[in-house]
Amino acid sequence: MEQMKIVSLKEHKQFISTLAKWHYDEWSYLHYVDSVERRISEFEDELGSEEIPKTFVAVDDDVLVGSASILPHDMDTRMDLSPWLASVYVPVKYRKRGLGSALVRHVVQEACKRGYRILYLYTPGREEFYARLGWSLIERTEYHGHDVSIMTINTE
């Protein structure tokens, strides 16, 4: 992991299909309408704008090792909250090396740079991980039939 860097997906468009598959496999159960193709289309759409949504990828020696995004909205039941940290994903073989934490910190810094003072996330089972990174629980709720925790952090 000596060459690991976190950059915009725009710099590594070749990873779009892989990311779409990862994200679909990991989280499609939380979305009523979902497909790998829809996710590919969303990634391609975000490349044309400097506004959010934005996806960041962790790359180690030209190998994709993780991702995280900042989205305007991530829960269709909580449109009052914005923006959101989302899609924090590291493949199993690269976990326990600090990549997830680095990706979360990167998105928090990006949110701050963009003038967002508060960031939200929801997680179906990683509340302790985010709490260790300074996130606070604001609500436990059900989302599309699954128990999730909504958390927040001040980006300043």
Predicted TM-score of the model (pTM): 0.92
Nearest-CA neighbor of 134 among 107, 155, 113? 155
Spell out the domains of the chain, with CATH numbers in brackets. 5-154 (3.40.630.30)
Count other C-beta atoms under 10 Å from residue 34's C-beta: 14
Q: What is the pLDDT along the chain (156 residues), one digit of tens a residue?
A: 567 899 999 999 999 999 999 989 988 878 766 789 989 999 999 998 889 999 999 999 889 999 999 999 999 999 999 999 999 999 999 999 999 999 999 999 999 999 999 999 999 989 999 999 999 999 999 998 999 999 999 998
Helix H or strand E segment including 71: strand 63-71
List phi, psi (to 5°) of 13.
-60, -25
